Amino acid sequence: MAFCFNFTTKDSEEKSLNIDDILLEAPVSKKKKIEQVVTDFKEITVEDCKADYPYDLEVNTYQLTDSITVSCYDAGAIEEILKKDKDDSSSVVKATSCHSDLVPNVYEGGLTVWECGIDLASYVAKDVDFTDKMILELGCGAGIPGICAMLCGAKVVHFQDYNEEVLKEYTIPNVKQLNTDDDVKCTCRYFSGDWSQFSDKIDNEQSYDIILTAETIYNPDNYQKLHDVFTSQLDKHGTVYLAAKSNYFGVGGGIGLFEDFMNGKGKFSCKICKTIEAGVPREIMQLKWKNTNIDKQTEKT
Ligand SMILES: C[S@@+](CC[C@H](N)C(=O)[O-])C[C@H]1O[C@@H](n2cnc3c(N)ncnc32)[C@H](O)[C@@H]1O
C-alpha cells in the first residue's frame, strides 16, 4: 500500500509525498541503507551536540504572547549545512536528498517547524501554568513548545525525538541559544528513539506534570505507543496537550481517529480546547486521567 504524506507547512505550502514512489526511484544502495537505520532509545547530551553554526545563521522568531518570543534556527539553513558537512551517514540528508519530509521509521520530519507546533506553543504560552513543572515534549523536532515551557518557568524539560541527528543539529542548538539568558533556570535532557522504547528505558523517578506533542498522530500505527507513553509517564494529576490536524490525508491519522482510539482505551478523557479554522482545520486536544485515584501506571493495555 502506498504511504502518502500530505502536510501543510507553516508557510501553507502543500506537500504531497508518496514514500513508496520515492523509495522506488531511489538507487538500490540508498534503499538498503534507509532500511538499516536503527532507532534505539538513547540519551543525547549537550556535549554530543557538535553543531557550531555561524553567528549570522538565519533564525526565525515566533511571537507567542506579548512577552514570550521563541527563536529557532532556520531549518532550511541547517539542511544546507548538513548537506555540505555530512556524508552518507546522515538520515536527514538521505531523506531530503529523496526530496522527502518523511521516511517512515528513519526520518519522521523533525527538521521542519510544523504549523501545529506553533499552534501548541501559542496555546500553552497563554493558558498553561508551567511554574516548577516537569515537562516532556514528545516528537519535538525544533522543540518550540518545550522551549516555551522553559521560558514560562518549567523546572525540567525533556525533549524527545525519533531521530538523534534532529536533537543534535536542531533541538539542542535551539535550546542553547536560549540558555544564554540567565533568567531561564531549567534542567533539560534529550532522548532519541522510538516511542515504544521510551517508557522502559527512561530513568525518571518522577512522572511528568505536562506532556506536549505536536504533529505526531499522522500515523495510526503509533497510537498504541503514544497511549503507552502517556499511561506510564503522565502524573495522575497531569495533562497532555496535543496539537494536530483534523485529518492527515493519505496517511489515515487525525484528531477524530486519535480521540476514538483513546476513548476506546478508556483511561483518559479527551477535550478539544481550541480549533484553528483552515483548509484542513487544526486542533488542540487536552487529555487527563479519568481516574486520578491511581499510582503511576505501568501496565500497557
Ligand atoms: C511531523 S514531525 C513534528 C515535529 C514538531 N513536533 C513540530 O510540530 O514541528 C513528527 C515528529 O514526531 C517524531 N516521531 C514520529 N514518529 C515517532 C516515533 N514512532 N517515535 C518517536 N518519535 C516519533 C519525529 O521524530 C518528528 O520529530
Q: Please tell me if the CB atom of residue 253 comes closer than 6 angstroms to any atom of ligand 1.
A: no
- Residue-level pLDDT at 204: 87
Distance 293 CA to ligand 1 centre (A): 31
The answer to whether the CB of 8 falls within 8 A of the CB of 165 is no
* For residues 170-180, average pLDDT: 86
Digit-coded pLDDT (tens) for 117-155: 999 999 999 999 999 999 999 999 999 999 999 999 999
- Residue-level pLDDT at 295: 55
- Residue-level pLDDT at 106: 72
* Residue whose CB lies within 8 A of the most ligand 1 atoms, among 216, 218, 282, for a mutation test: 216
- Residue-level pLDDT at 87: 66
Q: How far apart are CA 2 and CA 192, in angstroms?
A: 27
What are the two backbone dihedrals, phi and then psi, of residue 115, each rounded to the nearest 5 degrees? Answer: -65, -30
- Residue-level pLDDT at 294: 61
Q: Is residue 260 part of a domain?
A: yes
Q: Is residue 174 part of a domain?
A: yes
* For residues 67-89, average pLDDT: 86
Percent of the chain with pLDDT over 90: 64
Q: Is residue 34 part of a domain?
A: no
- Residue-level pLDDT at 59: 95
Q: How far apart are CA 238 and CA 19, in angstroms?
A: 37
- Residue-level pLDDT at 91: 77
Mean pLDDT of the residues in the chain: 84
Q: How far apart are CA 177 and CA 194, in angstroms?
A: 27
Which atom of ligand 1 sits closest to the CA of residue 110? 27
Q: How far apart are CA 205 and CA 5, in angstroms?
A: 37
Q: How far apart are CA 114 and CA 109, in angstroms?
A: 9
| Banded pLDDT at 99 (limits 50, 70, 90) | low
Q: How far apart are CA 92 and CA 101, in angstroms?
A: 9
Q: Decide if pLDDT at 285 tops 80.
A: yes
Identify the domain containing residue 157 by its residue range: 115-289
Q: Is residue 122 part of a domain?
A: yes
CB within 8 A of 1, min separation 6: which ones?
none
- Residue-level pLDDT at 182: 62
Distance 287 CA to ligand 1 centre (A): 19
Q: Is residue 33 part of a domain?
A: no
Higher pLDDT, 248 or 28: 248
* Residue whose CB lies within 8 A of the most ligand 1 atoms, among 161, 198, 202, 241, for a mutation test: 161
Overall domain count for the chain = 1
Cell, residue 194: 522510538
- Residue-level pLDDT at 23: 36
Q: Is residue 163 part of a domain?
A: yes
Higher pLDDT, 10 or 274: 274
- Residue-level pLDDT at 100: 67
The answer to whether the CB of 90 falls within 8 A of the CB of 74 is no
| Banded pLDDT at 290 (limits 50, 70, 90) | very high
Q: How far apart are CA 2 and CA 20, in angstroms?
A: 6
Q: Is residue 58 part of a domain?
A: no
Q: Is residue 38 part of a domain?
A: no
- Residue-level pLDDT at 185: 86
Q: Please tell me if the CB atom of residue 167 comes closer than 6 angstroms to any atom of ligand 1.
A: no
- Residue-level pLDDT at 83: 84
Q: Decide if pLDDT at 289 tops 70.
A: yes
Q: What is the CATH number of the domain that holds 234?
A: 3.40.50.150
Q: Please tell me if the CB atom of residue 137 comes closer than 6 angstroms to any atom of ligand 1.
A: no
* For residues 69-95, average pLDDT: 84
- Residue-level pLDDT at 92: 78
* For residues 210-214, average pLDDT: 98
Q: Please tell me if the CB atom of residue 141 comes closer than 6 angstroms to any atom of ligand 1.
A: yes
- Torsion sign, CA atoms 57, 17, 166, 281: positive
Higher pLDDT, 108 or 68: 68
